[in-house]
Structure 1
Amino acid sequence: MLSRTLLCLAVFSASTPLLADTVWLKNGDRLSGKIKVFDGGKLLIQTEYAGAVPIDWKQVKTLESDQELLVKQDAYTGEKAKSLLAADEGRVTLANGEAPKTVALASIQQIIKPKPVIEDLVWKGNVDVALDYKRADKDTDDYDIDFKTTARHGAWRHHAEGEYNREFQNDAVTADNWTAEYALDHFIDEKWYWQGRLTYNRDRVEDISRQRTVGTGPGYQFWDDELGAFSLGSLLNRTDYEYSDGKKDNFYSLAVKWDYNRYLMGKTVSIFTNGELGKSLEGGSDYSLDSEVGLRYKVTEWASLNLKAEKDLIGSSSGSDNSLNKTRYTMGFGVTW
């Protein structure tokens, strides 16, 4: 009798589908999968049959989930729900023990998985590695590694990025440089923020051997969600140059900074560009450009291939020899989170 009961339970368990989140749409359709995030007006649900599917929040009738989720009805505070229960059209119930709460979908600004310690922490970034070997009259070995990461908590957002490049031609070093940057944003409201930024560049080959920049200024976040982000900022900078011949220069400048990335084809492909264009307020170096544009293809959930073009330009209308004009193209692999 016991064995027969256990057999029935095993058959029932095998025939019962795993619990999944469900989203009902206003047109009558229903999607099942796992809710990843809701942000920027898009609900992203991971399905077995179509991969990651973005849904316009305005088309959602109601939804349910057995996950523990953090539901935010404003930019800074949220309520952790042990699960979500379907409700009337345009509403959802936050199940949290003995005090369930039904809210309007239109009032929800963000749904994310709560993180330990800092529940509303959103952390994302990537590390890219590129290697180039050429064997000809001049043997060339080129190594490049860079990283970029952001972490958002409430009204604060941290940026950290860096890059290292080293190149040999016939065993002679033709490029050896690295750069590091840290920036801190404080959001004044949902879109506007104020940034403080520190950048340091070191180059052992080019005429400009060291560059230090401290800047601050306002910025505007057009969007930042699971499908991409775009921000535009302006900075008042103080830049110090140290040249390979020992000379030094410093000046103040105004700069425009941009950062754009967008996922396509169900988050399989992303295009991105970022950079800064600056104009001196004094004599010396009149303008500078540091920019990057590229394409990233996700091979797995975390591994990716990338193709990038970088442009570094420092020029002076006075015709000074202490200038820089460099373009680099790289292809490599990396990890994304």
Structure 2
Amino acid sequence: MFSRTLLCLALSVAATSALADTVWLKNGDRLTGKIKFYDGGKLLLATDYGGAIALDWSKIATLESDQELLIKENAIAGERAKSLQPAEPGKVILANGDAPKTIELASIKQILKPKPLVEDLVWKGNIDAALDYKRAERDTDDYDVSLKTQARHGLWRHNAQADYNREFQDDVVTTDNWSAEYALDRFLTEKWFWQGRFEYKRDMVEELERQRTVGTGPGYQFWDNELGAFSVAGLLNRTDYEYSNGESDNFYAASLKWDYNRYLVGKSVELFSDGEVGKPLANAADYTLDAAVGLRYKLTDWASLNMKAEKDLVSGAEGELDETRYSLGFGVGW
């Protein structure tokens, strides 16, 4: 009975090893695990001995996988491979029944698990919530919720953001606003893209009640890989203001947007910043700033603690706005 148990255990271990993906490096090392995806020059290999490891694609000689994977040699189309088989250094074999195909590793742009509807869809995002209760000479209750998500397929990238902030001081509402933004990017090359976006802000307390912005312009993606991303966009915008006294205003402006995040300390800490600085074309003195910077500490693969500072400034307009908010809270990501 004991021998039979040992035999079953040995067969299980052998089967597990056989199912593991393998990556051979140019220096002769061999790593086993599960290939998650390849993008931005980094192959993410999930291991039970070192967690998720980001491997430099240029250091890989060949690889093997029993998974069905989508192999993309350009930004638009991809080919499903039922498995990957090792080949001579610098190449890999796409196994599809009786018609295996050998391709250069250098020609591969992405490796993904194919999705049911949109095969090459990459979707990521996070929701952060912060609650702050202060009981002193002046009682303060502060609520802050933010959503940020991004989805990319082929040459298209969808970006969406939403924020809500509400604050009470001695049961009197002192801050009550929300905003939503959607931007669509169309990549022209691997780095350059064209963006169109719409943003709406609503404030129930300040004199500046509503802001609507429609803009378009070119952008540049400096990098986007497993360790982070950084992009900027220069936009020409049309902005409409509505004030609490019934007056309104509109103007055209040039703006610079940025979106940055970087993982540190073995991907357990994330530094992030996003925002926009704008300059009306008709008035040399006015400008706007809407920016955020913060840190996110990952507790698990999906849960995190976050600390963030936000600045919202409208200078030169009727009912000037100047708000700075600090928040500490909990978030979920995917």
TM-score using structure 1 length: 0.94
Q: Which amino acid aligns with 2:331?
A: G
Q: Percent identity?
A: 65
Give the conservation status (yes or no) of the 8 Å contact 1:279–1:288: yes
* Residue aligning to 1:139: 139
Q: Which amino acid aligns with 2:319?
A: N
Q: Does 1:93 align with 2:93?
A: yes
Aligned to 1:10, what secondary structure does the other structure show? helix
Kindly state the Cα deviation for residue 275 of structure 1 after the two structures are TM-superposed.
0.5
Q: 1:332 is matched with which residue?
A: 329
Contact 1:275 1:289 in 2 (8 A): yes
Matched, 1:16 2:32: no
**Whole-Å Cα distance in 2 between the matches of residues 264 and 16 of structure 1?**
36
Using a 3 Å threshold, how does the CA distance of structure 1 residues 4 and 169 change in structure 2: closer, same or farther? closer
What does residue 175 of structure 1 align with? 175
How much has 1:281 moved relative to structure 2?
A: 0.7
Q: How far did 1:203 drift?
A: 0.3
SS of structure 2 residue aligned to 1:16: helix
Q: How many Å apart are 1:16 and its aligned residue?
A: 2.4
- Contact in 2 for aligned 1:82/1:95 (Cα 8 Å): yes
1:106 partnered with 2:103: no
Query: In the TM superposition, what are the counterparts of 1:2-81 in structure 2 within 5 Å?
Result: 10-16=8-14, 18=16, 19-81=19-81
When residues 45 and 162 of structure 1 are mapped into structure 2, their CA distance, relative to the original with a 3 A threshold, is same
Structure 2 CA distance for aligned equivalents of residues 247 and 156 of structure 1 = 38
What SS does structure 1 have at the residue aligned with 2:58? Answer: helix
Identify the residue that residue 121 of structure 2 maps to in structure 1.
121
1:71-117 CA distances to partner (integer Å, 9 max, x unpaired)? 11111111111111111111111111111111111111111111111
| One of 320, 325, 328 as aligned partner of 1:323 | 320
Instruction: For 2:175 and 2:285, locate their aligned partners in 1 and report how far apart those are by CA, in whole Å.
Output: 22
Please list every run of 5 or more consecutive structure 2 residues that lacks an aligned counterpart in the other structure: none
SS of 1:106's equivalent?
A: helix
Which runs of structure 2 are paired with 1:149-228 in the superposition (5 Å)? 149-228=149-228
AA aligned opposite 2:173: V
Task: Give the match for residue 232 of structure 1.
Answer: 232
Q: Which residue of 2 aligns with 1:281?
A: 281
Please give the TM-score of this superposition, normalised by the length of structure 2: 0.95
Change in Cα spacing, 1:78 to 1:142, as seen in structure 2 (3 Å) is same
Which letter maps to 1:13? L
1:215-235 CA-partner distances (Å, limit 9, x unpaired)? 011111111222211111011
User: What does residue range 303-318 of structure 1 map to in structure 2 within 5 Å?
Assistant: 303-316=303-316
> How far is 1:12 from its partner?
3.8
**Alignment: residue pair count:** 332
Q: Does structure 2 retain, via aligned residues, the 8 Å contact 1:52–1:267?
A: no
Contact 1:53 1:266 in 2 (8 A): no
The CA distance in 1 between the partners of 2:143 and 2:201, in whole Å, is: 17
